[in-house]
Structure 1
Amino acid sequence: MKQIIFSNWTIMRFLRLAMGIAILVQAVMSKDMLFAFAGLAFTAMPVFNVGCCGTAGCAAPPKKNQDTTKDITYEEVV
């Protein structure tokens, strides 16, 4: 659980978190409980990295490390 919360943070995930916090702040300021529940849901989704499709179902796969290179050999044609 700790790994899900603290890893794989992207710009889009930060943006979703900021929008969820903004919804939550507006709900507290207007004292609207239904809006507050929506704000909690929109804030929890990026924290736990879940979305409409389930746990990271719609997310792009993490970038794979491809540091290994294959040596190319050439033959001289005469």
Structure 2
Amino acid sequence: MRNYLRNWSFMRVLRLALGIFIVVQGIMTKEWLIVGLGGLFSLMPLMNIGCCGVSGCSTSVPRSNKKTEDITYEEVR
């Protein structure tokens, strides 16, 4: 449990708090779609998943040390 709580940042706690706030507001207004969306927003920081913003899902560029040789072409008539 201690290891799980170690990787929490301010934004992750803020997202969890906003998700819980949305769930509570949805329950108070009896809007069940809002409760579901609040549950989704609360689940995202708990599972440490999120949108791919700010290069979150970028893949590494493969680097090769191979030098490309010059290619010669024949003219076809």
**So what's the TM-score if we normalise by structure 1?**
0.60
RMSD: 2.5
Residue by residue over 1:38-73, the C-alpha shift from the partner in whole angstroms, topping out at 9 and shown as x without a partner, is 0000000001100023xxx829xxxxxxxxxxxxxx
- The answer on 1:8 being equivalent to 2:20 is no
**So what's the TM-score if we normalise by structure 2?**
0.61
State how many pairs are aligned. Answer: 55
Aligned match of 1:17: 16
Alpha-carbon distance, 1:14 to partner: 0.5
Higher fraction of strand: 1
Identity %: 44
**What stretches of structure 1 of length at least 5 have no aligned partner?**
60-78
**What stretches of structure 2 of length at least 5 have no aligned partner?**
58-77
Residue by residue over 1:7-54, the C-alpha shift from the partner in whole angstroms, topping out at 9 and shown as x without a partner, is 41000100001100110000000011100110000000001100023x
